[in-house]
Amino acid sequence: MRDWIPDDAVICPEAASQYEQSLFNAVSQYLLSADHMCTTVLEVCEAPHEAQIDLVKAVNKVLASKPASLADDDFVNKIYAGIEADKTILKRQTITAVQISDVHLDHEYVEGTKAKCDSFLCCRSESGMPTSKDELVAGKWGNTDGMCDTPVHTFQSLLDFVVSDEIAPDMIFWTGDNSSHNIWNNTVEEVTGYTEDVTNMIKASIQDTDITMLPIHGNHDTWPVDE
């Protein structure tokens, strides 16, 4: 276990309690299923056959059939170069797109607290205050070197910049992961609340623009996480 996990192992037991139903289903419906026990454990049944896939071999098999025209990974660049060189093709409209991903907003972010603490998520009041100048500190806008999520005003600043004339995209791909990383003790209401808050912030920022928003959920937008 990593050294930033508390010695009293608070995180693992609480996280395990969230996944107890999923774990029970995995064990009862797969590991203890008749098919798995008969073919894999006891090895007395011929079908259905379960075999572990070697991912390295699988990837190499796909790459081995890669056409020579794709060998240098510049296939798309060559397409655009050909279009640019062909004067009979009308100049196409350029569309500007921005992707917003892994927001991980944190309503409990506290500037000045420890950015590295004895937990999976720091920069909160329970993280404590630094006791030496060598410790990482939660800054006004965050701390990318620490175990911190995003302050609300940092995300708002990003949105202001995205919709400004400097970028002014035609569309935004919003690929989720809105909630903070306290996955061991959060609730469905908390996770849902973060998505609602990020939604409202984005809507308010683009309401007077012609920007098209294309959203999709991330693995941290369900409860428990990854479910």
pLDDT digits (tens, 9 = 90+) for 167-196: 999 999 999 999 999 998 899 999 999 999
Task: Return the residue matching tokens 């939604």.
Answer: 199
Q: Which CATH number fits domain 93-109+149-227: 2.40.160, 3.40.50, 2.60.40, 3.30.370?
A: 3.30.370
Q: What pTM, to 2 d.p., does this model score? A: 0.73
Per-residue model confidence (pLDDT) at position 10: 67
Per-residue model confidence (pLDDT) at position 9: 59
Per-residue model confidence (pLDDT) at position 140: 97
Neighbouring C-beta atoms of residue 61, cutoff 10 Å:
10
Tell me which residue of 54, 15, 29 sits closest to 226, measured CA to CA: 15
| pLDDT-flagged residues of the chain (< 50) | 1-4, 7-8
Count each helix (H run) and each strand (E run) in the chain, helices first: 7, 3
pLDDT in tens, 102-117: 999 999 999 999 999 9
Domain boundaries, the chain: 11-85, 93-109+149-227, 112-143
